[in-house]
Amino acid sequence: MLNLGGPQTTDDVGTYLERMFLDRELIPLPLQERMGKFIARRRTPKVQKRYEQIGGGSPIYAWTKRQGELMVQWLDRLSPETAPHKFYIAFRYADPTTADALQRMQADGVKRAVAFTQYPQWSCSTTGASLNELWRELLRLGLRDTFAWSVIDRWPTHDAFVAAMAKKVCEGLEQFAPDERQSVLLLFSAHSLPLSVIERGDAYPQEVAATVQAVMERLNFSNEFLLAYQSDIKPFKWLGPSTERVIRDLGARKRRNVLVVPIAFTSDHIETLHEIDIEYAELAHEVGIVNFKRAPALNDDPLFIRALAEIAAEHLGGGRLHSSQYKLRCPGCENAMCRTLLNPAPDALLRRAGRPAAAVYPDAASHHA
Amino acid sequence: MLNLGGPQTTDDVGTYLERMFLDRELIPLPLQERMGKFIARRRTPKVQKRYEQIGGGSPIYAWTKRQGELMVQWLDRLSPETAPHKFYIAFRYADPTTADALQRMQADGVKRAVAFTQYPQWSCSTTGASLNELWRELLRLGLRDTFAWSVIDRWPTHDAFVAAMAKKVCEGLEQFAPDERQSVLLLFSAHSLPLSVIERGDAYPQEVAATVQAVMERLNFSNEFLLAYQSDIKPFKWLGPSTERVIRDLGARKRRNVLVVPIAFTSDHIETLHEIDIEYAELAHEVGIVNFKRAPALNDDPLFIRALAEIAAEHLGGGRLHSSQYKLRCPGCENAMCRTLLNPAPDALLRRAGRPAAAVYPDAASHHA
């Protein structure tokens, strides 16, 4: 289970930020080593204070562990032929790291592994960075041939995920008085990306937008909605509209009721618990939004757990090593190691070969003959 | 039928460009009147040459007329209770203008009117500008109460439209040798927008992305795909990745087979016939893309005609004046007249009242109970 991770205690914030700012695949800096360490050190006290305000650390490890435990229970039932299933957590910037996960897998004698991104939508800055770290660490640790791999690299419009998201929106709406619900604006918010990443051809904005559309279709377009992007860091130009600016504008427009829906992350983390619940809530209050709420994160919602298990089961039974998009490097990519797949799992390929050959074009044509 | 329109002959190019550059809702300029006329005059010869190269004028009037004729035939059958149906063309920058359409409607004694955007995805720069022109012209011509209005303001993921688009992609793929088809990259291309419009909160990129996802789902993700944006005009910063840059990058990456799929416009026009078929094709050749093709435009494809008729019929029977998004002005909007609806059609409202009250939240909840 790949994710960015978060510091479990305020003491871990320094290491966490340092790993983040040393990652060229996330934040390319001139003189990466020196600049990265400098920025990380300078930001640490400020970020520590934020983690203090949300209880002293990030809950992402606890949530991911619970998601993993519940997911494999379901998965053993959905896919008994591949059971027993185990989960390992590999965080990109926090413990347990990718190396931790790989070493535990080796100790447990694992042979077949699925790299399962916990980011619903692809971005080279998130899933891409996690996977590149995985392939690098496998080589560094001499484990190139130890595990046979396949990859779940994205699931932006998977039905079960969309259903779980729609449920969370409904739960969010229940925080408003019944006679106000119809007038609530749904403000979908995803982490932003530098425009340079967008211009390179990153799939993220397309896939985030697709999730939003699927959730709204599921809700039968019950409410007005907007998609905005949060957490940009100066001085780069980031993809907009910015969630912060949208909140200001909605206040100026005298909008009473706003429900923020985090759409690109599946657990509570600093961006929901601090940025939305504390910073944006304060801002919303200042600009006159009367009821400013947030939809709960997916966390351990049973529908979401089932979605994770279904996505994994479909992957295991689907005869594919990865999505049809995984091997397509961004047109502007300059990172030659992107879209690697070391030691691909032969069972995934075998299963595919055992099926009737997919007759994609005739099939597609018959839909609209 | 609202659209931007195009010059029917090269003699019309000057007027067409002038109307375009005088439209603050499309291209806000300092000293709009003077600057707009100046830029239009300066660009005219260059643009005239392009229209000469595609046969002396834009085919958009001919296509729209044919679409309208065929659509109303279907519509009379799909919705006999609202028949007979007539269509009128209102172009924003070419003849017949909005005023032309309104005067003909008045002469014909029309009472009930649907403003039907021919842009599948909403943008304030396209559908928004056309609708604002409509409300302005109604007032200017003293026709405020002559017609009872409702609006079809977007249809980015309508099933029948998506099916028609998927068919066009299949037809595009048939231009490649059978053994090359699997390796064709689908390059969805939509007209770009200035970043200032995106930052204001325009729905366009979200809805274009949703169309792309729906088409790819329909095609069962048969091919790798990208979404890029074309036709940006300097010196503004526009939404990327740019189609032109993507073509260069794909060439550098030694991609052999590329199919461009215009995704935000339904008829052939200068951006398909000249920009893609001539300019980008030349570029593709230069950078080494061996087979560079374009999916046919929807034009008078029977599936697309049916889509138009179905969208209209569902609107007429749906009891709604507009989509659930129409009344939501962009958060950063400074144009107070946006999202107007003059003289709303009482029959649309009545039909809604006659139906059982929509129980949106319980319904939505039952999906994932």
Range of the domain at A282: 159-294
Residue A120: asked if its preceding bond is cis (omega within 30°), the reply is no
3-state secondary structure of B104: helix
A282: tokens are: 């304060």
How many C-beta atoms lie closer than 10 Å to residue B37's C-beta?
16
How many C-beta atoms lie closer than 10 Å to residue A55's C-beta?
9
Q: Across the interface, which of A200, A209, A367 has its CB nearest the CB of B210? A: A209
- B135's enclosing H/E stretch is helix B129-140
3-state secondary structure of B368: coil
Mind telling me how many Å the CA of A57 is from chain B's nearest CA? 32
Q: Do A360 and B222 touch (CB under 8 A)?
A: yes
Output the pLDDT for position B369. Answer: 32
Whether B285 maps to a domain, the answer reads: yes
**Average pLDDT, 10 consecutive residues per value, chain A (369 residues):** 97 96 90 94 96 96 98 97 97 98 98 98 98 98 97 98 98 98 98 94 98 98 98 84 97 97 96 95 98 98 98 95 97 95 84 44 38
Number of H helices, E strands in chain A: 14, 8
Instruction: Write the CB contacts of A211 (distance below 8 Å, at least 6 apart in sequence).
Output: A120, A121, A156, A157, A161, A162, A165, A263, A264
Output the pLDDT for position A353. Answer: 45
Q: Do B364 and A170 touch (CB under 8 A)?
A: yes
Q: Across the interface, which of B201, B222, B228 has its CB nearest the CB of A361? A: B222
- What is chain A's length? 369
Q: What whole-number distance in Å separates Cα of residue B292 and Cα of residue B337?
A: 43
Q: Across the interface, which of B253, B328, B332 has its CB nearest the CB of A241? A: B332
3-state secondary structure of B141: coil
Q: What whole-number distance in Å separates Cα of residue B95 and Cα of residue B3?
A: 11
B179: tokens are: 């053994």
Per-residue confidence band for B351, with pLDDT thresholds at 50, 70 and 90:
low
Output the pLDDT for position B350. Answer: 58
Q: What whole-number distance in Å separates Cα of residue B152 and Cα of residue B355?
A: 20
Q: What whole-number distance in Å separates Cα of residue B214 and Cα of residue B166?
A: 9
Q: Across the interface, which of A201, A208, A303 has its CB nearest the CB of B226? A: A201
Q: Do B224 and A329 touch (CB under 8 A)?
A: no
Residues of B in contact with A156 (CB under 8 A): 213
Q: Across the interface, which of B206, B250, B328 has its CB nearest the CB of A209? A: B206
Residues of A in contact with B172 (CB under 8 A): none
Whether B195 maps to a domain, the answer reads: yes
Residues of B in contact with A198 (CB under 8 A): 240-241
**B362 class by beta-carbon count within 10 Å (0-12 exposed, 13-18 middle, 19+ buried):** exposed
What pTM, to 2 d.p., does this model score?
0.94
Residues of A in contact with B280 (CB under 8 A): none
Query: Which of A181, A213, A368 to substitute to test the interface with B, most B CBs within 10 Å?
Result: A368
Whether B166 maps to a domain, the answer reads: yes
3-state secondary structure of B3: strand
Residues of A in contact with B358 (CB under 8 A): 220
B300: tokens are: 């008078």
Q: Do B331 and A242 touch (CB under 8 A)?
A: no
Whether B328 maps to a domain, the answer reads: no
Output the pLDDT for position B234. Answer: 72
Number of A/B CB contacts below 8 angstroms equals: 161
Q: Do B198 and A240 touch (CB under 8 A)?
A: yes
For the stretch B32-70, pLDDT in tens is 999 999 999 999 999 999 999 999 999 999 999 999 999
Q: Do A213 and B207 touch (CB under 8 A)?
A: yes
Strands B185-191 and B257-262: parallel
Q: What whole-number distance in Å separates Cα of residue A304 and Cα of residue A308?
A: 6
The separation between CA A117 and the C-alpha centre of its own chain, rounded to angstroms, equals 7
Q: What whole-number distance in Å separates Cα of residue B362 and Cα of residue A170?
A: 9
Q: Do A164 and B328 touch (CB under 8 A)?
A: no
Per-residue confidence band for B362, with pLDDT thresholds at 50, 70 and 90:
very low
Whether B204 maps to a domain, the answer reads: yes
Mind telling me how many Å the CA of A171 is from chain B's nearest CA? 9
Instruction: Say whether pLDDT at B230 is over 70.
Output: yes
Percent of chain B with pLDDT over 90: 89
Q: Do B241 and A198 touch (CB under 8 A)?
A: yes
Whether A23 maps to a domain, the answer reads: no
Q: Do B240 and A198 touch (CB under 8 A)?
A: yes
- CA separation, residue A34 to residues A37, A40, A155, A195, B302 (Å): 5, 10, 37, 24, 62
Per-residue exposure over B87-97, b if at least 16 CB sit within 10 Å of its own CB, e if not: bbbbbbbbbbb
- Name the residue of chain B whose CA is nearest to A303's CA: B368
Beta strands of A231-288 (E only): which ranges? 257-262
Based on the structure, what is the number of domains in chain A? 1
Q: Do B213 and A207 touch (CB under 8 A)?
A: yes
> CATH code at B167?
3.40.50.1400
Q: Across the interface, which of B167, B221, B365 has its CB nearest the CB of A324? A: B221
Q: What angle do CA A199, A201, A206 make, to 5 degrees?
A: 105
Instruction: Say whether pLDDT at B344 is over 90.
Output: yes
Per-residue exposure over B244-277, b if at least 16 CB sit within 10 Å of its own CB, e if not: bbbbbbbbebebbbbbbbbbbbbbbbbbbbbbbb
Q: Do A199 and B223 touch (CB under 8 A)?
A: no
Residues of A in contact with B220 (CB under 8 A): 360, 363-364
Output the pLDDT for position A232. Answer: 82
Instruction: Say whether pLDDT at B360 is over 50.
Output: no
Q: Do A156 and B363 touch (CB under 8 A)?
A: no
Residue B232 dihedral angles phi and psi, to the nearest 5°: -70, 150
ipTM of the complex in this document: 0.93
Question: Can you say whether residue B170 is alpha, beta or left, with left for phi > 0 and alpha for psi between -120 and 50 degrees?
Answer: alpha
Mind telling me how many Å the CA of B145 is from chain A's nearest CA? 28
Q: What whole-number distance in Å separates Cα of residue A257 and Cα of residue B364?
A: 20
Instruction: Say whether pLDDT at B241 is over 70.
Output: yes
- Name the residue of chain B whose CA is nearest to A211's CA: B210
**Three-state secondary structure along A313-355?**
HHHHHHCCCCCCCCCCCCCCCCCCCCCCCCCECHHHHHHHHHC
Beta bridge partners of B152: B116
For residue A364, which amino acid is it?
Answer: A
Whether B231 maps to a domain, the answer reads: yes
Q: Do A303 and B368 touch (CB under 8 A)?
A: yes
Instruction: Say whether pLDDT at B281 is over 70.
Output: yes
- Name the residue of chain B whose CA is nearest to A222's CA: B360
- Please choose, from the candidates A201, A24, A60, the residue with its C-alpha nearest in 3D space to the C-alpha of residue A123: A201
The separation between CA A360 and the C-alpha centre of its own chain, rounded to angstroms, equals 30
Residues of A in contact with B166 (CB under 8 A): 364, 367-368
Q: Do A241 and B200 touch (CB under 8 A)?
A: yes
Mind telling me how many Å the CA of A213 is from chain B's nearest CA? 6
- What is chain B's length? 369
Output the pLDDT for position B348. Answer: 72
Residues of B in contact with A303 (CB under 8 A): 368
3-state secondary structure of A217: helix
Q: Across the interface, which of B170, B181, B209 has its CB nearest the CB of A205? A: B209
Whether A185 maps to a domain, the answer reads: yes
Residues of B in contact with A218 (CB under 8 A): 364, 367
Residues of A in contact with B219 (CB under 8 A): 360, 364
A106: tokens are: 């080796």
Residues of B in contact with A205 (CB under 8 A): 205, 209
Report the Cα–Cα distance between both ends of chain B, in Å, rounded: 42
